[in-house]
Amino acid sequence: MLTIDKTIASEGIPVLRSRKLTFALSVLAGISSWSSFACGDEETAFEARYGEVYAERDSGPLKADVYLPKGEGPFPGVVVVHGGAWFMGTRAQLSGAAQLLAKNGITAVAISYRLAPRHKFPAQIEDCKSAVRWMREKASELKIDPTRLGGFGYSAGAQLVTLLGTTDEDDGLEGIDDPKRVPSTRLQAVAAGGVPCDFRVLPPDSRRLAFWLGGTRSEVAEQYRLASPRAFVTADDPPMFFFHAENDRLVPMESPEAMCDSLAEVGIPNELYVVPRLGHNFAAMDRTALNKSVDFLVDQLVGRDRIAAKEEP
């Protein structure tokens, strides 16, 4: 998610000053640089498959890059969802995080999804759910254990994986007529950074997200509710880990804090790591936050007992 200077009232499309756009694009490139320390000299620890088609849309195919651990599996799987304020970004942004997951025994699937303003919500979450169903349908080919799936994302991608974690086929976001006849899109763990969790608290006449949600909150209140992960928290949700910049001026710290409170109220394990001194964009590249996210997903999906058993002589 990037700093929006103003909004075109007629379309609700974010406009960025050239200096900030250049900065934003450099951040996107920087996030991709996670791969520089994720791989190191251990690139043979996983296999990469680029451009796998996971769904077809009228606008064209949706693709994913898949990072598979070496070995027979089956391994847990994690859908990896990029940020970019729902209107920009690519699946390559989080390639380093995906590779690090693969090095830790998790099949990581970094996806592209339809972007606003051409494709308004719920297109993005429908694409994410299609990706999760594809992961379960192709579990054998992808060396995935379909009972152990998680999500990882930052900013807009964090909102999407958190919404994946809190919604099911009864919430109207599956994008298909009969979701109970296909694999479930429920996740077993979520790790998310810089996450906006509740759009119901935005000013009713703000057009800041009209480009994505189709209007102001006063005009399309149901869209704002449907996009809010916190609105769907229930006792059967998966454990969640959040990291958030101490000086985030784009997404308030109250967002993950309130989400953690809601999860705790229904007994869902949760954790919030505050990235010291950084703002929203640079927290996306914080190595400690990334390592904590991966450790959390490994703990929840792989299990330290399985790792210890594998390491025994």
- Dist CA 83 CA 74 (whole Å): 28
The pTM of the full predicted model, rounded to 2 decimals, is 0.88
**64 Cβ neighbours under 8 A, 6+ residues apart:** 51, 52, 53, 54, 91, 109, 110, 111, 112, 131, 134
Which residue did the predictor score with more confidence, 70 or 37? 70
- Dist CA 217 CA 207 (whole Å): 8
**30 Cβ neighbours under 8 A, 6+ residues apart:** 284, 285
For residue 149, the cross-strand partners are: 77
User: Average pLDDT, whole number, for the chain?
Assistant: 87
Which residue shows structure tokens 């330290």? Answer: 304
- Dist CA 270 CA 239 (whole Å): 6
Q: Is the peptide bond before 76 cis (omega within 30 degrees of 0)?
A: no
**172 Cβ neighbours under 8 A, 6+ residues apart:** 226
What's the DSSP call for residue 298? I
In degrees to the nearest 10, what's the CA dihedral of 212, 218, 219, 223?
50
Identify the CA nearest to 68 among candidates 96, 105, 42, 111. Answer: 105
pLDDT tens-digit map of 83-98: 999 999 999 999 999 9
- Dist CA 144 CA 240 (whole Å): 21
Output the six-digit token pair for 221: 């209140």
Q: Is the peptide bond before 122 cis (omega within 30 degrees of 0)?
A: yes
pLDDT tens-digit map of 217-260: 999 999 999 999 999 999 999 999 999 999 999 999 999 999 99
Residue 312, exposed/middle/buried by CB under 10 A (0-12, 13-18, 19+)? exposed
In order of their start, the domains of the chain are 32-311 (3.40.50.1820)
pLDDT tens-digit map of 268-295: 999 999 999 999 999 999 999 999 999 9
Is residue 75 pLDDT above 50, yes or no? yes
Which residue did the predictor score with more confidence, 32 or 101? 101
